[in-house]
Amino acid sequence: MSFRLFDLNDPQRHAATTTEGPLLILAGAGTGKTRVITCRIAYMAAQKIDPNSILAVTFTNKAANEMRERLAGMVDKDVAKKVTMSTFHALCVRILRTDIEKLGYKKNFTIYDEGDQTGLIKKLITKTAAIGEKLEPNAAKSLISKAKNNGWSAPQDEKTLIGAVFARYQAALKQLNAVDFDDLLLLTVKLLGEHADVRERWQRRYRYIMVDEFQDTNRLQLELVSYLAKRDDGMPPNVAVVGDDDQSIYGWRGAEVSNILEFEQHFPNPTVVKLEQNYRSTNAILNTANALIKNNPKRRPKSLWSGMGDGDKIRLVQAPNDREEAEFIANEIARRKVDETLRFEDFAVLFRMNSQSRLLEEMFREKGIPYKIVGGKSFYDSREVKDVLAYFACTLNADNDAGLLRIINTPPRGISEKTVERALELSIKHKCSLFKGLQLPELRESIPARASEAIAEFVAQLDAWETKLNEPLVDQVAVLRKIIEESNYYDDLRRSCKNGDEALKRESNVRDLVEGFSRYLENSNGGLRGYLDAMALRQDKEEDEKDKEQGTGVMLITLHASKGLEFPHCYLVGLEEGILPHDRSKVEGTLDEERRLLYVGITRAQKTLTMTYCFSRYRYGGTIPCTPSSFIKELDPNLIERIDLKKLLNTPVEAPAAKSRFAAMRAAVERSG
């Protein structure tokens, strides 16, 4: 096994081998914090600490997977498998699936995604609002989410419309045996807080707890960690947290940087380790980042240095517009790949807003440059994937109203919308699920016989699938294939597609999904329930795991999603007022957080960094003029090389070989460099 402690520097090694008591690593970007966590786990395993008792929490599924891979290279496979590495949300699902009954939910609860949430909230607003009263569903959703992340499971004032909707929303979820993403945390904290027996059991299970990116935890996440680590049996807490206050970028989601800055108050007398050597970036990159972040008033000063050499200056490119910006990047990556013998995976393009990726994608596709996108619309958002997942979820638990509504007439089976509405009303009246509502004699009496037959057939089909799925030693993958076949889903899909290509693509998505389940079973014993949970959790905000399967290409990624990652050559685009810093930050007074976001972006780069801004950009349905980001003045001019794309493009080129505009530009770049 390739785990060697001497791969760490002195303070890193000190941190990795301090396994008992609280441990705090508060250190700058690229200093090996994440590496220390991984090595610490490997070290513990070598010390014969039971790997089952180790819990490492990361912020994204991507980070958890990466850590899992890194660990797999250091310890035996079966040891690595026993360590729990998960996101906060996945950890909560694990705890709730075992113990949620104490809170009056059933163990087979459904996880509501954002779409389900919005649907339900919309319905409740219509029902609750008085004439003339208005509430935007998305605004309501985010207010409710904020409240829950503050630890409120009920509104403070039910007389307001939002309060009433919040109260009804919580009641409806509970009745549907469903939880949303915020509930996962809220309910887990409630469960551990109120039930000492449950808390103690999980404390005994996880003796060693580690949390990466601790600067981005919110109040509830800290509470969760505290419940697990502060032991009822009087043993000292074994909790190690690592993070960087300069990289706290989730304030808008309720993250509290005080969680890490005041760690000592939550866990007294920690071992504190300082890391100052950056192993990731050249000095030009690191010092550019340092010059920027110095402008933030409230921060712990750090001195970071790098042994990676000075490196090239940071290039600051000004482009006439966003189209030229994207074209420049696509052309240059294509060229550099060849000239510098690089791979497409060595490049990343980072941006502030999802919408910025559209032009880049277009340009990359045009030029045949492979790319993978994180943070964009994903596989899991496509309707066929959602439909089929709903079929599977309803087979496991037909009381899943959101799922049932999705599939009840996909494919059409003669149950009219009116009938469904009637069934829903009855289900609300009788406080039961839609599935049970469909079977009420009261419903049968009020709808046409044909509809009753259709319902009976549908109910029988779901029951039959459920029975099959629960047979001992059954091949679940085969059952899922059967469900898709017997539901005639493919026929319906084909009918609803514009052309053959689209149909093929969508069908292959469905097959990929079943394939995914079969691969999942190879590495896990969670069964269909576990798979559906993993699918639901993947939709967690910023990420898309599909790039894992798709493999190669330039990484297109939002700044938020890039946290913790590194790339040899980075392009940071759209450094303009209103984008970075974002418009909203001026109203909300979060300029410091925008600066940290740029800091995170800059510190992702290992060897070269190119930043770009435009003088006009397509936004809000039209072309608008842009001004360079105010952050640019804060950078150290000695480390920056300015390039004016327009000048380059207009420079006459003598060489006859330079036929295309791109070649002209390239020639000019070479001359000026």
Residues at the contact surface with ligand ATP, assessed by CB under 6 A:
7-9, 12, 29-35, 244, 247, 279-280, 564, 566, 603
Token couple for 46: 């070598």
Nearer to ligand ATP, 140 or 240 (CB): 240
The 304-343 contact track toward Mg ion, x by CB under 5 A, reads: ----------------------------------------
Out of 99, 213, 324, 542, the active site residue is 213
Range in contact with Mg ion (rule: CB under 5 A) among 81-89, 165-173, 557-565, 657-665: 557-565
Known catalytic residue: 604?
yes
Count CB-CB contacts under 10 A for residue 243: 24
Active-site annotation holder among 141, 604, 607, 666: 604
Whether 450 sits among the annotated catalytic residues: the reply is no
| Partner from ligand ATP, Mg ion, none contacting 9, C-beta within 5 to 8 A by type | ligand ATP
The stretches of 132-262 forming alpha helices (DSSP H) are: 137-149, 161-175, 181-194, 196-205, 219-229, 258-261
Given the residues 12, 19, 33, 322, the one annotated as active site: 33
Choose from ligand ATP, Mg ion, none: what does 318 bind? Cβ within 5-8 Å by kind.
Answer: none
The reply to whether 356 sits near Mg ion by the rule CB under 5 A is: no
Is-catalytic flag, 247?
yes
Residue 397 interacts with which of ligand ATP, Mg ion, none, CB < 5 to 8 Å by class: none
439 in catalytic set: no
**Shortest spacing between CB 670 and ligand ATP, in angstroms:** 31
Question: Count of residues for the chain?
Answer: 673
Nearest to 248 by CA among 296, 303, 185: 296
Residue 232 appears among annotated catalytic residues = no
Q: Is 603 exposed, middle or buried (0-12, 13-18, 19+ CB in 10 A)?
A: buried
- CB-based burial of residue 259 (10 Å sphere; 0-12 exposed, 13-18 middle, 19+ buried)? buried
Nearest approach, Cβ of residue 184 and ligand ATP (Å): 24
Nearest approach, Cβ of residue 566 and ligand ATP (Å): 6
> Is 501 designated active site?
no
Q: Please, are residues 289 and 603 in contact by the beta-carbon 8 Å criterion?
A: yes
What's at 519, amino acid-wise?
A: R
Shortest distance (Å) from residue 667 CB to ligand ATP: 36
For Mg ion, give the closer residue by CB, 215 or 395.
215
Task: CB nearer to ligand ATP: give 35 or 68.
Answer: 35
341: burial class by Cβ within 10 Å (0-12, 13-18, 19+)? exposed
Q: Is 412 helix (H, G, I), strand (E, B) or coil?
A: coil
Please, what is the minimum distance in Å from the beta carbon of residue 181 to ligand ATP? 24
The DSSP letter of residue 21 is S
- Picked from Mg ion, ligand ATP, none, the partner binding residue 29 (CB below 5 to 8 A depending on kind) is ligand ATP
Helix (H) or strand (E) holding 527: helix 527-538
Examine residue 564 and tell whether it contacts Mg ion (CB under 5 A): yes
34 binds Mg ion (CB under 5 A): yes
Q: What is the side-by-side order of every strand in the sheet holding 23-26?
A: 84-87, 54-58, 208-211, 239-243, 23-26, 271-273
Q: How far apart are CB 665 and ligand ATP at their closest, in Å?
A: 33
Select from 334, 146, 75 the least CA-distant residue to 326: 334
**Eight-class DSSP state of 106:** -
Please work out, in degrees rounded to the nearest 5, the angle formed at the alpha carbon of residue 236 by the alpha carbons of 230 and 242: 70
The reply on whether position 58 binds Mg ion by CB under 5 A is: no
What whole-number distance in Å separates Cα of residue 564 and Cα of residue 603?
Answer: 9
Residues 571 and 329: beta-carbon distance below 8 Å: yes
Identify which of residues 34 and 290 has a Cβ nearer to Mg ion in the complex: 34
Considering the candidates 38, 84, 87, 247, report the single residue annotated as catalytic.
Answer: 247
Binding site for Mg ion (CB under 5 A): 33-34, 564
The catalytic residue positions are: 33-34, 212-213, 247, 604
